[in-house]
A and B are shown apart, each in its own frame.
Chain A
Amino acid sequence: MKRDWMLLLLLAAAVLALPNFITSPYYFSVLIFVAINGIVVLGLTLLMGYAGQISLGHAGFFGLGAYFSMIFTVHLHLNPWLAMALGLAATVVIAFLLGMPTLRLHGHYLAMATLGLGVVLQIIFKEEIAITGGPSGTSGIPYLKAFGIEFSNDHKFYYLAWIFVLVLFGLSINLIHSRIGRALRAISQNQTAAGSLGIPVDRLKLSVFALSAGYASLAGSLYAHYFTFINPSPFGFMASVKLVAMVVVGGSVSLWGALLGAALLTSLPEFLTVLQDYEMVVYGAILILVMMFAPRGLAGIIAKIFQYLGLGAKEENARAV
């Protein structure tokens, strides 16, 4: 646990130092995307890696955050921060309601149900034209402001997005090292045994589902206020699959893996634009390779390297990160 906080401090230092080495504003935008995806993937890792429940619909919750922020600011002229908070609350409530019947399912059925859920959400974004702007989207979303700073360019927004990552990361560390965090891992390994020890399995699964939807919603709000324009296309099924791929590539039982996975799969397509048409093929190939050769993902590989160098924490700790 101490190690996690140390690493988080290091990450904070890196976030502060990095802009000195960045030459092009383009890289800022890539890093902002890493942060935004990273927030969603953090929540999804809590759900998938720790509680052992899959969701193929998280881009939908990401979209809900973005659309709530848009609706509350553009249509209702609320303060962007208030819009973000209201969007968060609304998304969490919606996730609770949708999760209640859905999370009773297991395995493939849960995957299918959440997939359908994500698809339905995107259809709403597309079809409720009066509210959402339909396929052509809505612009004019205001920038976020705090302490007299308007987060209107990439450089400024970079700091804001990463502050969100750092804070949410810290909260996630708290969670996984708590009684509830252990209970989640117990659920993912043996639901019957977890229940027989007094863990309210269904309720906890639902809570984490709602929590991860909340993370996605915050990321969606950031996205909306960063771009000031949204349309339904980034919130579809493919986006959900990419998010799951980030979790898996990172190594699903590691918060650090979540960030690594988000960083790799967010930046890779940016640098390999040649492969653009084959993006899904590349994703598929990466997924298969990870499953075959590194089931514990990037986090697992790094833990192994550290172990090999004799620097690493013992394996149990690496696992518990």
Chain B
Amino acid sequence: MLELSEISKSFGGVKALDMVSFGLKQGQILGLIGPNGAGKTTLFNVISGIALPDHGQVHFQDKKITGLPSHKIAGLRIFRTFQNLSIFSEMTVIENLLVGNHLKGRAGLFSAILKAPWERREEKLIRDRAHDSLREIGLEKSAQLTASSLPFGKLRLLELGRALAAEPKLLLLDEPAAGLNQKETFELSEFLAGLRKKEITIIVIEHDMSLVMEISDRVVVLDQGRKIAEGAPREIQQDPAVLTAYLGEENWLKTLKKKNA
């Protein structure tokens, strides 16, 4: 359903992405890994329309989406979360979820001002849906709290819930486990496993190797903007190129070896 072909993107003289290509089938979960600065987030920015690639095309459901503004890409039901959270921190939890349902409505500024009947109907639908999402992520009790008053783990959950509220076909998760403790990470992996049943296609950037290896159908490895490996989690763990790329980042190497053992 998603096809990246020869994506390149430079910032100044630095090649953040260099001829990256891969594809993704409906319902798959793809792990995107690589050392810091490998270009993973840049790739997300390209897919979600925040950054324009210098070269290459992104196709989604056989339609070219390169160069579309991000809200149009969201309109195709491609949603994402951000590495350093993008919660609307001065809005309440429920308001964040209501904004997540933005695309469920069509009424414009004028209908909103006049509170037209169709706007009211829409609003009711959106409210019902937001409350469903609230239950899904288990934050009912915090509905009216300002988002900034929530602990970090809950905010990650809220951001995820907000993206899910929009019923994504493709979901891009940028380090969903970063900053979470072990218990929260475990809950997250359960949650993501649950998404698999809903046939949502997911690309996940993650540094927590055990999480990536557990949930991914396939893994793509980036290093300095290039794709250096692609395959099933088991293959990736034994790929010499991958091991070399991670050399020097000892912890990662250890994690990988531990998984292999």
Contact = CB atoms under 8 A, between A and B. Distances in A.
A joins B in a complex:
yes
Interface of A: 171-172, 174-175, 178-183, 185-186, 189-190, 192-202, 204, 207-208, 211, 314-316, 319-320
B79 A197 contact: yes
A174 B123 CA distance: 12
Contact of A199 (B79, B102, B107, B115): B102
A183 B113 contact: no
Contacts of B145: 316
Contacts of A175: 109, 112-113
Contacts of B138: none
B114 to A, nearest CB: 7
13 contacts: A175-B109, A178-B112, A178-B115, A186-B88, A196-B50, A196-B70, A196-B79, A196-B82, A197-B163, A198-B103, A199-B99, A200-B69, A320-B95
Given A178-B119, A197-B102, A319-B146, A208 B71 contact: no
Contact of A196 (B74, B92, B95, B122): B74
A198 B95 contact: no
A89 to B, nearest CB: 13
B88 A193 contact: yes
A174 B95 CA distance: 16
B108 interface: yes
Interface residues of B, number: 42
Contacts of B71: 195-201
B105 interface: yes
A199 B100 CA distance: 9
Given A186-B88, A316-B144, A316-B145, A197 B99 contact: yes
B215 interface: no
Contacts of B92: 316, 320
B26 interface: no
B112 A174 contact: yes
Given A196-B70, A197-B166, A207 B100 contact: no
A271 B70 CA distance: 52
Given A190-B88, A195-B69, A207 B102 contact: no
Contacts of A174: 112-115
Contacts of B119: 178-179
Q: Give the dominant DSSP class at A's interface.
A: helix
Contacts of A171: 113-114
A208 B110 CA distance: 10
Interface in B135-170: 144-146, 162-163, 166
In the complex, the 3 A-B pairs of residues with the closest C-beta atoms, listed nearest first? A193-B86, A198-B74, A178-B112
Contacts of B75: 198
Given A186-B88, A189-B89, A199-B71, 11 more contacts: A174-B113, A175-B112, A178-B123, A180-B107, A196-B74, A197-B71, A197-B99, A199-B102, A200-B71, A201-B71, A207-B108
Contacts of A315: 146
Contacts of B91: 182, 185-186, 189
A193 B105 CA distance: 18
Interface string B84-104: 001111111001001110110
Contacts of A183: 99, 102
Which of A174, A178, A202, A204 is most buried by chain B, counting CB atoms within 10 A of its CB? A178
A192 B50 contact: yes
B162 A181 contact: no
A197 B109 contact: no
Contacts of A180: 107-109, 112
Contacts of B173: none
A211 B108 CA distance: 12
A185 B96 CA distance: 10
A314 B144 CA distance: 9
B109 A182 contact: no
Given A198-B74, A316-B92, A179 B109 contact: no
A182 B122 contact: no
B126 interface: yes
B96 to A, nearest CB: 8
Contacts of A179: 98, 102, 105, 107, 112, 119, 122-123, 126
B142 to A, nearest CB: 11
B66 interface: no
B80 interface: yes
B160 to A, nearest CB: 13
A192 B90 CA distance: 16
Which of B88, B123, B144 is most buried by chain A, counting CB atoms within 10 A of its CB? B88
B42 interface: no
A194 B109 contact: no
B48 interface: yes
Contacts of A172: 113
B60 to A, nearest CB: 15
A192 B86 contact: yes
A204 to B, nearest CB: 7
